[in-house]
A and B are shown apart, each in its own frame.
Chain A
Amino acid sequence: MKFLPTSDAERQAMLQAIGAARVEDLFASIPREVLGPAKLGPPMSEIEIRRFLGDMARRSANARDTAFFVGAGLYHHYVSAIADQMLYRAEWLTSYTPYQPEVSQGTLQSIFEFQTHIALLTGLDVANASLYEGASALVEALLMAERLARGRNRAVLSAGIHPEYRETVRTYFANLDLEVVEVPLAEDGVTDRSALAAAVDDKTFAVAMQSPNFYGLVEDWKTASSVAGPRGAHAIAVIAEAASLALLAPPGEGGADIACGEAQSLGVPMQNGGPLLGFLACRTAHQRQLPGRLVGETHDAEGRRAFCLTLSTREQHIRREKATSNICTNQGLMALASNIHMSLLGKKGLREVATQSHAKAEYLKRRIAAVPGYRIPHVGPTFNEFVVEAPVPAAALLSRLAVRGILAGVPLSRWESGAERRFLTAATEMNTREEMDSLAAALAETA
């Protein structure tokens, strides 16, 4: 076995040092009745494994070989080769949480840079070292707001927040003495400010909304902050398409106290939905309530700049059931990829990705609107994703197109009833005009 470096002779010498006759003797503490080998088939060579998994990979459509417009919280954006190749370096790939700062300055500094990028993009003061992904980041943001407003028990969520984020919140909150109220959107697809205001009471600790919202519509962060602030609640900005942050007004400017969401768009491949890159940012006044890992700047014994994990007393390994969260790990490698990506694109590139994605989506929107039978139900501004209403049931339509190599989007029927003919479609800088024209043409054929 190529992953086991011990020779038979070495094994014998080791057993002798231990004073055991056989390796099996070392397992004497495990009761016999629970022993049981696993039947998994013969070991495979590297070539066989490539064949075995490679075959499965070939039997799934991928964004490189199709005209690809699927989004809904997971986007096909440009990632420079170097952002991925750098991850192969053993020092990044095969190291762990930087508990020992003297031999982990690389990881620590990279996280510090990641925290800075997120703070700059969100317009807030500080960010943590990353969280699992967007939905659980929203959960953490809500729990953080609850700690900041002790004694309050109600969270108000706009229904414009990704349905899987809202479902995650319901799962997490089901057994805590906290109430989650979801406020339906207005007719035009954006958060209904007066309904939101009506849902907020003096027991409300957070008001959360998403922009661009799940239907792609750009919202005004002030809708939440203007409702939350006067009642002493915290405004939470949710971002599921982080590429938008370089073009749209940042949460910090719009009065949000906390911003959270999914940064996959910033340098992480889709990977069939994971690993992703949750983020959480807030204002300095609230930084001690940030959950998850945090890297701080300090110095070493000789006075040189150095970095280390800090505020770990908030975390589960010290505070146990009183911790700010049960999370232990962050998304180290993804945060690194994203740091590299954001650094490469920088001020100009992040903006250009955002404006190109937007311009392409506007083009696609016009093309689809022009197809007989198709309709764009919302009139408000969108970033790079929008809802299409088809003349036929959307799920079947999208399946037919997919088999032809056009992945046109996601049917809304997956999450809501009464929307059988609607689907979400997204464009990014990766889409060509030709692809978009082919999508419009294909839709015209099916109408």
Chain B
Amino acid sequence: MNPEDRHYAQSHEWVKIDGDIGTIGITDHAQKELGEIVYLELPDVGHVFNADEEFGTVESVKAVSELFSPISGEVVEINKGAVTEPGIVNDDPFGDGWLIRLKLSTDEEVNKLMTAEQYAEYVRSEEK
């Protein structure tokens, strides 16, 4: 299930806030929709993104999907382990399969995102 300690975007990314650092990944629902992930294209450390800006792509054998940053900030770390073994995004999307860490530009944007419960409802409505 979707962990409650984070915020969710309609484009199926999550962000978890620890102080001024936000960790971003894709949801379990997103990884299931994509199927087995074979490649991740992630930005370099130091890159600055605005909220809703594309920060990379995730590819399965048959699909490719853009990744959008739910919040604004500067990339301070990328998950190299996920780049080398993209399968961990399938196996553990909310844990070891995280994608990037940002130093937040502002702490107000998270309020516009969904809670775990709202996101679950959103996914249900999308499937109809």
Contacts and interface: CB of A to CB of B under 8 A. Distances in A.
B57 to A, nearest CB: 9
A318 B59 CA distance: 11
B64 interface: yes
Contacts of A312: 61-62
Interface in A311-367: 312-313, 318-319
Contacts of B51: none
B63 interface: yes
Interface string A44-74: 0000000000000000000000000000000
Interface string B51-63: 0000000011111
Contacts of B61: 312-313
A318 B39 CA distance: 15
Contacts of B62: 312-313, 318
Contact of A319 (B39, B60, B64): B64
Contacts of A319: 64
Interface string B61-76: 1111000000000000
A313 B36 CA distance: 13
A150 to B, nearest CB: 12
Q: Which of B39, B60, B61 has the most CB of A within 10 A?
A: B61
Interface in A279-334: 288, 312-313, 318-319
A319 B64 CA distance: 7
A288 B83 CA distance: 14
Chain B: interface size category:
under 10
A38 B86 CA distance: 56
B122 to A, nearest CB: 25
Contacts of A318: 62-64
A318 B34 CA distance: 13
Nearest to B59: A313
A311 to B, nearest CB: 8
Contacts of A313: 39, 59-64
A312 B39 CA distance: 12
A319 B39 CA distance: 15
A318 B60 CA distance: 11
A306 to B, nearest CB: 14
A297 to B, nearest CB: 15
A296 to B, nearest CB: 11
A88 B63 CA distance: 36
B66 to A, nearest CB: 9
A125 B62 CA distance: 25
A338 to B, nearest CB: 28
Contacts of B64: 313, 318-319
Contacts of B60: 313
A263 to B, nearest CB: 29
A319 B60 CA distance: 12
Contacts of A288: 39
Nearest to A308: B61
A299 to B, nearest CB: 15
Most buried by B among A288, A312, A313, A318: A313
A288 B60 CA distance: 14
Contacts of B59: 313
Nearest to B62: A318
A185 B79 CA distance: 49
A288 B59 CA distance: 12
A22 to B, nearest CB: 41
Nearest to A317: B62
A288 B40 CA distance: 12
A318 B65 CA distance: 10
Nearest to A288: B39
A288 B64 CA distance: 13
B97 to A, nearest CB: 19
Nearest to B60: A313
Contacts of B63: 313, 318
Interface in B61-114: 61-64
A287 to B, nearest CB: 12
A405 B59 CA distance: 58
B100 to A, nearest CB: 19
Nearest to A318: B64
Nearest to B57: A313
A312 B64 CA distance: 10
Interface in A174-221: none
A308 to B, nearest CB: 9
Interface string B16-46: 0000000000000000000000010000000
A286 to B, nearest CB: 14
Interface of A: 288, 312-313, 318-319
Given A313-B64, A318-B63, 12 more contacts: A288-B39, A312-B61, A312-B62, A313-B39, A313-B59, A313-B60, A313-B61, A313-B62, A313-B63, A318-B62, A318-B64, A319-B64
Interface of B: 39, 59-64
14 contacts: A288-B39, A312-B61, A312-B62, A313-B39, A313-B59, A313-B60, A313-B61, A313-B62, A313-B63, A313-B64, A318-B62, A318-B63, A318-B64, A319-B64
| List of 7 A-B pairs having minimum Cβ-Cβ separation, nearest first | A313-B64, A313-B59, A319-B64, A318-B64, A318-B63, A318-B62, A313-B63
